[in-house]
Chain A
């Protein structure tokens, strides 16, 4: 009996002391209930419905619709596009974050704003920009045409549009992290004789790796799921320029419910995996932040 105070008396005292600071119990229950109901109706039910519809005609039908050559082609294209975009954005994000966090220069605020631009521009508009640039009637259209280079209605256009909409993810994740860490450790490495690259490789990169991974996962999820921008530049040629989201849209338009929902279930699984990884990484970062350090030694 800690402190000799009876448990009930202490609990009553606690409740009393909280009165006026916290809401009454019924209101707490109503608010929590509303939040849960909202999430359930608008998120969980539709998600469950995706899988239910996909399986509506049984497992064989699900397998068969996923095995359709055009659907397989769209999965391949989607993987290929994100395999191009994620590494490029990784490199760009690291360079941009490094520039913003470590240097003082004129126009830095403008650069940060520009990095955020894809978040505020409608994806359709960003797709149209590329059509206007590289399309047959576009600024560079005739020049490209003369050299037989096709960008719009082909894979390069899809990659460009996806790059545009995904490029803030890595940079946005790294900038605050690098700014918070400062540059003392990098400078210490320089005084110890390390070159710029060695410093980056052995000091900077290990200390931001979790944040970097987090950015990459979000970037990847968006790259695979992008619809609007890709839709404008792709041309929707089945089996050639159709990414998974476009394929889903087309199957849906053609009233092929099982086919559409089977393909959609792939994207839903991707979303769930992303969510799981994201939660794990956030927990990981929180632990390291609490320690004020990152661990895992890295040898030069």
Chain B
């Protein structure tokens, strides 16, 4: 176990930034802390680094309680969102800083920095100053600087936030490769669910200072523990239905009541890919018009509008879109292949979110 948080809370005045978070991160793991901004994920990262002190709870690194260990002695590499390079120092001196502070022999420093410059593709840039580097290069210097003293843990705050979309993709792949080579326990903060899914072994989802769910990218996508996670990870259509005569209804859509009493409210959610669409009006039981088509490359995103005005988001591969003869503006038939119950009352509780219900046998009854 590399890092462990036991019921950690952090308050700034009256504001609780982090509340009762318990989490363990194994040796060599690559973990994403994901959530909307202001969710407390950066505060968690800063507490692990020692830049913030928890208000309550225990923080353990390699089994040792470090709440009171000053930041200098935690041996944790921290990469700031702004990179925070020392602008008056060359690339070499930036990377060497942690080693010089530790009074490492000169020859050793040169060897280590040289090795990092090679590993990070920064050869020949050692004498440049930070302002003479590109955004991607600056980030690599920042990570190399954090790794130079061989920290037990590497923490990155929004590592891809400050670079443009194209470089971001390269950096993601590069980070995964780097992690595979160095195998240092790594935590990074992001608000981009796609980034978290793509890069990490495990995702920790935060919302308003609380930990919502921890799991592999697949787990949190396929078995979200509550509506927040389901909505945050990927796109979700959410319907609020009212139970009448034993069936939960919203306009022309109908679902089983799932035990909700007559007149009660049932919330269901389904992913865009769970909607099947056909140009043949007889193929599926429900009717709609393709209101809008968005071209995403390999995939197309469609907005369906039912006769009563409900709008549903769906996704379909481009090949299938063409094969089925779909077009913007044409009438189609559709069905919802699978869905989840998000809540069975107005109180927002979600006892069954993770159970996927197959709707195909039901569709016939509508």
Contacting pair B88 A207 (CB below 8 A): yes
22 residue pairs of the A-B complex, CB under 8 angstroms, read A182-B82, A187-B80, A187-B84, A190-B72, A191-B51, A191-B77, A192-B97, A192-B101, A193-B72, A193-B98, A193-B102, A198-B101, A203-B86, A293-B130, A294-B87, A297-B89, A297-B93, A298-B88, A298-B93, A299-B89, A300-B93, A300-B97
> How distant is the Cα of A182 from the Cα of B81 in the complex, in angstroms?
13
A188 in contact with B80 given A193-B98, A292-B131, A293-B131 (CB within 8 Å): yes
Chain B residues with CB under 8 Å of A270's CB are: none
A-B contact count (CB 8 A): 89
A297 in contact with B146 given A192-B98, A292-B131 (CB within 8 Å): no
Contacting pair A191 B88 (CB below 8 A): no
> How distant is the Cα of A291 from the Cα of B132 in the complex, in angstroms?
9
**Which residue of B has the minimal Cβ distance to A293?**
B131
> Within 8 Å of chain A (Cβ to Cβ): is B225?
no
- The A-contacting residues of B in range 37-83, CB under 8 angstroms, are 49-51, 71-78, 80, 82
Chain B residues with CB under 8 Å of A298's CB are: 88-89, 93
- Count chain A residues whose beta carbon lies closer than 8 angstroms to a beta carbon of B: 27
> Within 8 Å of chain B (Cβ to Cβ): is A254?
no
> How distant is the Cα of A189 from the Cα of B100 in the complex, in angstroms?
11
Closest CB-CB distance, B214 to chain A, in whole Å? Answer: 25
> Within 8 Å of chain A (Cβ to Cβ): is B90?
yes
**Which residue of A has the minimal Cβ distance to B87?**
A293
List the 7 closest pairs (A to B, CB-CB), nearest first: A293-B131, A184-B84, A192-B98, A206-B88, A188-B84, A191-B78, A293-B87
Chain A residues with CB under 8 Å of B75's CB are: 193
Contacting pair A294 B102 (CB below 8 A): no
Contacting pair A297 B129 (CB below 8 A): yes
> Within 8 Å of chain A (Cβ to Cβ): is B85?
yes
Which of the four size classes fits the interface of chain B?
Answer: 20 to 34
Most buried by A among B74, B84, B100, B145: B84
> How distant is the Cα of A10 from the Cα of B293 in the complex, in angstroms?
48
Contacting pair B86 A189 (CB below 8 A): yes
Contacting pair A296 B101 (CB below 8 A): no
> Within 8 Å of chain B (Cβ to Cβ): is A14?
no
> Within 8 Å of chain B (Cβ to Cβ): is A256?
no
> Within 8 Å of chain B (Cβ to Cβ): is A295?
yes
> Within 8 Å of chain B (Cβ to Cβ): is A63?
no
Contacting pair A293 B129 (CB below 8 A): yes
In the complex, which of the residues A184, A191, A206 contacts B146, with contact meaning CB atoms closer than 8 Å?
A191
Chain A residues with CB under 8 Å of B51's CB are: 187, 190-191
Chain A residues with CB under 8 Å of B84's CB are: 184-185, 187-188
Chain B residues with CB under 8 Å of A292's CB are: 131
Closest CB-CB distance, A193 to chain B, in whole Å? Answer: 5
Closest CB-CB distance, A13 to chain B, in whole Å? Answer: 38
**Which residue of A has the minimal Cβ distance to B98?**
A192
**Which residue of A has the minimal Cβ distance to B46?**
A187
Contacting pair A296 B97 (CB below 8 A): no
**Which residue of A has the minimal Cβ distance to B89?**
A297
> How distant is the Cα of A203 from the Cα of B93 in the complex, in angstroms?
12
> Within 8 Å of chain B (Cβ to Cβ): is A112?
no
> Within 8 Å of chain B (Cβ to Cβ): is A194?
yes
**Which residue of A has the minimal Cβ distance to B92?**
A297
Chain B residues with CB under 8 Å of A49's CB are: none
- The B-contacting residues of A in range 255-299, CB under 8 angstroms, are 291-299
> Within 8 Å of chain B (Cβ to Cβ): is A122?
no
> How distant is the Cα of A233 from the Cα of B78 in the complex, in angstroms?
55
> Within 8 Å of chain A (Cβ to Cβ): is B149?
yes
A297 in contact with B88 given A184-B80, A291-B131 (CB within 8 Å): yes
Contacting pair B86 A185 (CB below 8 A): yes
A194 in contact with B97 given A184-B82, A187-B80 (CB within 8 Å): yes
**Which residue of A has the minimal Cβ distance to B145?**
A192
